[in-house]
Structure 1
């Protein structure tokens, strides 16, 4: 069996198994849905319980050809596992303190074995059912997978970082499509929720569809430190008051922020973006949420220093209505949820009938 980068490939496999046929929203749609829908429930893919190991857990299998785990006769050898661990550590080694490397190595070993078991179970099942995937389906799935990646991240970068070839990537995506067919079949092809299910979900989770009160604010901070004496504090407050007077006289807020603010947002002209309650310290929050739009508020003192705040926009709290857009978002969420549950059920069934041996765990 050839060497594979299981951690990356199994993630791709799982993603495709859940999203290929169901479809996935654009990144923009996902951001909007995330504001009102609860997070997708975590699907714990329970892996097969191994037959008690034939050697003690502390035993090291030195022979590269020795089997570490066997799944229905398919073996992962010590040499293959060592290569996987070595490659994984090469990617993250510099980020891990030396004293933690042994624990990281142990965790990697367990995770890679679990991923090998899961992939082998799924591969055996699609082969048993003689499920196939065309080149066109694989190409379309790759396009859908690309759409789920964060901005600036490419499939090529993922392959390079994890040392996997395009052929391996296509094989894994093909497996994802095949697994997806099995999952859909287990649901009788009925994934789309009914109007009743959508309405019931909305009513049951109405609190999740509430958009909190927010303000779009910018500020200038004249920072203070615990070491500042009364004279220094007075001077810093006076500087903040002087800047406020300049703003009231028509000075450009962004320009003054870039030149005077001690907060990182100065690079953006003091812009903090949208803020909801609970994100900022109380004195700042109270001022920002009580100020009139566009007004230059009085200097506010916090533990960080002296702030001059301007509110550019104030959005009152609201509840998202059950319109067609919301129905579509809920339907997509429920479809993914059904697929996740069916996928977990499939893995559980495969586990129950699998013959798995783990040596020297």
Structure 2
């Protein structure tokens, strides 16, 4: 189920990123030749890049997918925003064509085995064929669509691997970055815990809550008895999805759980059994198995993470610079009516209201809130753990009243 949460979050994140791109502007018309003749055939290509057509069928399919994403986020697409979405999509497709042409010029190619291996790796991240199929259904994609996107990404990766060969960030670069940003690598205090949940919600009557509370007190007393097996009690009595694994919540830091649960758990000592603790999910009996003090992570512990980050930044910068160069040299014809790559357009609007750059954080928060509302608010969000099918981790949790991990 958490994989489903992640997919929805990823989709909403894409919408916000799209809004950011639109608000900050697209390439100016002066970057290369961007002729825009009147379309002779409304079923023909939407653009042409150095003589290569960009097909209308793919453009239409991607626009429909974008509209569906906004609808799932509870957003209405105003006419002005519709136009900007078209602008940005054609810009993206133009850039993909430019990259593909550059890759061909550089002799960069893909073989079928590479692409199939990448597709298999991507599908494996979902944990099961069922989860992958569910993702395709929610995002209105086919496996062929996913494969086509992976092909574009893999070709881009291979192109930049060639262009940046010998320029990769070194261990010395990583060590310098670590020294300048040590605060980013401070590991927070953590605990390892189990719990038993007796669920309540807005439909639970006062009498039912009273019964649940009494049972939670009884289970707390039972768990504290000499020789009691907390895991077995959780398997027998917990009403949450972790019951089958003895209520195991794994290891987590502050900011990962709802406040009432977090405050009680972090105030306890290792080995303590506490409860009942009431949260929006119900009554909890908590066992704290281990407490791990905050510490500064060493350079060796984070070296690989830093190198990965530095490489990603380098690639992002190189991509921007290459696209600027390719656009300046290319002949780009926009054939879709009303579409322009010019930045001098009316402000971006959502639900009919202008979105200024300073309001983009608010837009991001609203998108996250819409996602949370759309998802079932079950105990998995409290726990920050994925189910066996998804293979997900706590880092993708978006529990209400709990922060995403740092």
Same-fold call, TM cutoff 0.5? yes
**Shift in Å, 1:224:** 4.6
Change in Cα spacing, 1:336 to 1:153, as seen in structure 2 (3 Å) is farther
| 8 A Cα contact 1:219 1:272, kept in partner | yes
Aligned to 2:330: 354
Shift of residue 146, structure 1, vs aligned partner: 5.0
Gaps spanning 5+ residues in structure 2: where?
A: 1-19, 340-406
Of the two, which has the highest radius of gyration? Answer: 1
Instruction: Give, in angstroms, the shift of residue 165 of structure 1.
Output: 10
- The two structures, once aligned, show a CA RMSD in angstroms of 4.4
Q: Comparing 313-322 with 138-147, which one deviates more in the overlay? A: 138-147
1:33-44 alignment to 2 at 5 Å?
A: none
- 2:53 is aligned, of 75, 93, 114, to 75
Q: Kindly indicate whether the alpha-carbon contact (under 8 Å) linking 1:220 and 1:261 is maintained by their aligned counterparts in 2.
A: yes
Once residues 68 and 258 of structure 1 are traced to their aligned partners in structure 2, the CA distance between those partners, rounded to angstroms, is 59
Question: TM-score, normalised on structure 2?
Answer: 0.59
1:253 and 2:234 are equivalent in the alignment: no
Distance 1:112 1:230, change over 3 A: closer
Correspondence for 1:21: none
Distance in structure 1 (CA, Å) of the matches to 2:91 and 2:170: 36
TM-score by length of 1: 0.65
Within 5 A, what are the aligned runs for 1:220-231? 220-224=196-200
Which residue of structure 2 aligns with residue 114 of structure 1?
91
> What's the counterpart of residue 213 of structure 2?
237
Equivalent position of 2:42 in the other structure: 63
2:13 aligns with: none
Could you say if the C-alpha distance between residues 74 and 289 of structure 1 is closer, same or farther in structure 2, counting changes exceeding 3 Å? same
Deviations 1:321-356, CA, capped at 9 Å, x for gaps = 112x53343223322321221122101111122222
Residue aligning to 2:183: 207
Give the equivalent residue in structure 1 for 2:144.
Answer: 163
Among 254, 258, 271, the alignment partner of 1:294 is 271
SS of aligned partner of 2:289: strand
Q: Secondary structure at the match of 2:283?
A: strand
The alignment partner of 1:63 has SS state of coil
Name the CA shift for 1:222/1:172 in 2 (closer, same or farther; >3 Å).
closer
Helix, strand or coil at the partner of 1:299: strand
Deviation for aligned residue 1:62: 6.0
- Provide the secondary structure at the position in 2 that maps to 1:222: strand
CA 273–100 in structure 1, closer or farther in 2 if over 3 Å, else same: same
- Cα deviation 1:257-293 (Å, max 9, x = unaligned): 2333343333432222222212333332222113232
- The equivalences for 1:1-361 within 5 A come to 48-50=27-29, 51=34, 53-55=36-38, 63-65=42-44, 67-78=45-56, 81-82=59-60, 88=65, 109-110=86-87, 112-127=89-104, 129-133=105-109, 135=111, 139=113, 143=117, 147=121, 150-152=125-127, 161-163=142-144, 172=152, 175-176=155-156, 179-180=159-160, 183-184=163-164, 189-224=165-200, 233-249=209-225, 250-302=227-279, 304-323=281-300, 326-359=302-335, 360=337, 361=339
C-alpha displacement of 1:202: 0.1
